[in-house]
Amino acid sequence: MKGTILMKRITTVLFLVLAVAVHATAADSRQTFRTSFNDGWKFHKGDVAGAETPEFDDSQWRSLDLPHDWAIEGPFDVKYNARCGGLPFHGTGWYRKSFEVPAEASGKAISVTFDGAMYDAHVWVNGHFVGHRPYGYIEFQYDISNLLNYNGSNAIAVKLAPEDLSTRWYPGAGIYRNVWLDIRDPVHVAQWGTFVTTPKVKDRTATVSIETTLEGDLTEKSIQLKYEVFDPMGKSVSSSTIPGQIKTATKLSVSNPLLWTLESPQLYVLKTTVLGAGRTLDVVQTRFGIRTLEFSKTEGFSLNGNPTRIQGVCLHHDNGPLGAAIHRRAIERKLQIMKQMGVNSVRTSHNPPSNELLDLCDELGILVQVEAFDVWLKAKVPNGYNKFFEEWGERDIKDMVRRDRNHPSVFMWSIGNEILEQGNKEDGNRIAKQLNGYVKSLDTTRPTTCGFNYFPGPYQSGMAGQIDIAGMNYKPLAYGDPVDEFLPNNPVVASETSSCTSSRGVYHLPIEKYQTHPSKQVTSYDLIGPPWAYPPDVEFDALETHPEILGEYVWTGFDYLGEPTPYGGKDNSTNGYWNADWPSRSSYFGAVDLCGFPKDRFYLYQSQWTQEPMVHVLPHWNWQNSSHKTIPIVAYTNCEEVELLVNGKSMGRKVKGKDLTKIPVKFNRYDKDHFMSKYRLSWEVPYSPGSLRVVGYRNGKPVAEKEIRTAGEPAQVKLVADRRELIADQSDLSYVTVRIEDREGNLCPLASNLVRFSVDGAGTIAAVGNGNAATTAPFIADEREAFNGLCMLIVKAGKQTGGITIRAESEGLRSDSASLDVKRP
């Protein structure tokens, strides 16, 4: 097999996570230091001559702190591309910052690091051009030691120039990830200069293999490297001190290792201290986890020797109403919601993720497929990354691997998604082999993959054989013999599945398969999708039939900004704007909407991916003003049986797996017009206002239930904060669910009341939203209409401690208030 180390089985064992520089403990001034460089920037939208010079007058520019996404502020406008969220992400933006460095820092190695800037970043320091980085998703660092004034002020300027028609989704705009300033001894651990693996893991011991790369002049110094490993409780469990070289390798042993698992993600810390002439020169702490990976063609995937089916989702990088700007809490909440759905893996579609996402996946126990590119040389949109790929592709993918190879959550590298070279044998094979080689030159402990949406093209040509694991997008009918004919030895993962679309709380009757609907919404009976798409049930069945498939990545876990399929346009088209169905401007694909409210599909996946007894019923039970007298009822459950009761009267029990539900289905290469699903239970019942209740049974005993009641007229606003205690770090968030309820506290499922907000005290309004994919109401506002009874207020803590008081009012409804507490970090 060409271009791969994978034969029958790959076994990999990995360690690690995030390298963080900290203060050294030596009692001298020459210490490692990393500080946030986010505060005190000036911003201007539009090009300005001379803005890179130190003397430029930026006093009239806007003052702000990073991270910052200029486009999320809007406004939404039909002149922008709905495919990219209908927001003004393209154009030129300038950022400037004045700063000082202490005189005693002269002679040190001083660098500035950008976790990501969107995109085509050009950076100047004191008028000197220091570098250019086109790819908005990649981290980059510049040594600026020789450009600084150590006796006065310094100026850094960053110019960004995102282009129109440069992306297929909303990318954001600006310096949207964190920026750091490092002041280090000239001899120090290089950027991403620590790499930890565990070549041997047994019950009683694990071998920790360490590679360290130093920078600086070592010729006149006797360098020592002191290594110390701390267990998850902070106890030192292994140490060694050895001579240090530019490249140094060593091994340590850890007794009775605690493994990194999905249920208990135990994390160790490696402390690397660089010593020279009796002084501490540098200290780096590297968090890591001990675990093993196995990938088998016939037996699937195992984590620590335990067979593990991938229950994954694809996630874009935006945070809904907050845009692309990094908020650790926003990412944490997103991942927590996914875990509630039963997710155990994330595919970073279709680009390198933030440091924060990987840190959180390490902590929460979520596996990650890190993806490098959406395009190579052939364009999907006129101004895409393909313009930069030939010059920057090798460096970008290598930097991605160097940065992320220490995270225990990272278990696969994807070199691309649905790249158009699939149809070109020569270019496809050549580039796939090159990219695979770049990855393997830096990390042989994890397999490579690529998301292929053509079949059998890249399999016949040998392109799929250039990587370790074949990623199949939307090809459940090709599992087994069709793909095995071309790849008899390679494991296969369903790298993108379903693409079912829906709008939270929307139910169109009768149940039918349609392309689009005049409402610009999509029914939540979970069956509508574009031509390549199919309901989740089809994938469940295919994976059940083919247990050798590693698992699936659903498109998508969350809705995201842009790509409002099935409205507006055709995927991968290069013909410009998707505005035919304006104001549809964001995704309908998610199992969770843009605000984090679960749709019905959330519970369909939960019914397959979780063990805690659950049952869910749809639709709502407010049909009194409808012409429909008989309503289709659907239940999702992981129980054996479900009983439906309407106003206390049983409509009968249904047995999961025995009582099938016929759903209309039609997608590419599927020769039927329906699918008999054993994953959903259904009834047809006459509508009668009151109570709709389902009860789930195991072994004949009730173990779960859910009830929906017919709501009266909207009477009150109800606030429910997900967190009442925040940290005073100017970035912590509380997501406040806003419910429109009747007098008895029932959610009004059709309500669209306008709610106005006020926030006083130690916090501010970060954004508002409601999950409606077809509205131009701004996210940065102090009011929002409810969408099917719900909207969202996102509150951000400031730097000061104290209380936050939230008040929500809506005309004709009883108002509500809530209090939050902001505490010291």
Q: Which of the residues are catalytic? A: 418, 496
Could you identify the residue written with the tokens 């009983």?
643
- In contact, 613 and 625? CB cutoff 8 Å: no
- In contact, 556 and 314? CB cutoff 8 Å: yes
Sign of dihedral through CA atoms 57, 61, 67, 72? negative
- The beta strand positions in 710-773, using DSSP E, are 716-721, 725-727, 733-741, 754-761, 763-769
- In contact, 281 and 238? CB cutoff 8 Å: no
* Rounded Cα distance, 566 and 521, in Å: 9
DSSP letter for each residue of 118-135: BSSEEEEETTEEEEEE--
Residue type, 735: Y
- In contact, 644 and 655? CB cutoff 8 Å: no
Tokens encoding 715: 């009477």
Q: Which of 801, 786, 705 is nearest to 747 (CA)?
A: 786
DSSP letter for each residue of 192-252: EEEEEEEEEE-SSEEEEEEEEEEES--TTS-EEEEEEEE-TTS-EEEEEEEE--SEEEEEE
Could you identify the residue written with the tokens 């210490």?
31
| 3-state SS, residue 482 | helix
In degrees rounded to 5, what are phi and psi of residue 155?
Answer: -130, 130
Tokens encoding 451: 């998301």
Q: Which of 117, 204, 191 is nearest to 156 (CA)?
A: 117
In sequence order, what are the beta bridge partners of 302? 294, 307
**What stretch of H or E contains 457?**
helix 457-460
Q: Please tell me what DSSP assigns to residue 334.
A: H
- In contact, 531 and 668? CB cutoff 8 Å: yes
* Rounded Cα distance, 341 and 604, in Å: 9
Q: How many CA atoms lie within 13 A of 352 on its CB side?
A: 26
In sequence order, what are the beta bridge partners of 709? 691
DSSP letter for each residue of 572-631: T--S----TTTT--B----SB-TTS-B-HHHHHHHHHH--S--EEEES-S--TTSS--EE
- In contact, 586 and 564? CB cutoff 8 Å: yes
Tokens encoding 613: 């007894």
Q: Which of 344, 367, 337, 388 is nearest to 593 (CA)?
A: 337
- In contact, 44 and 293? CB cutoff 8 Å: no
Tally Cβ neighbours within 10 Å of residue 243. Answer: 9
Q: Which of 190, 267, 184, 273 is nearest to 228 (CA)?
A: 273
448-452 and 649-655 beta bridge pairing: unpaired
- The beta strand positions in 1-152, using DSSP E, are 9-14, 19-21, 33-36, 41-45, 62-64, 93-100, 109-114, 121-125, 128-133, 140-143
Start-to-end CA distance of the chain, whole Å, equals: 53
* Rounded Cα distance, 644 and 632, in Å: 12
The alpha carbons of the chain give a radius of gyration, in whole angstroms, of 27
Tokens encoding 437: 């080689």
Tokens encoding 756: 């106005």
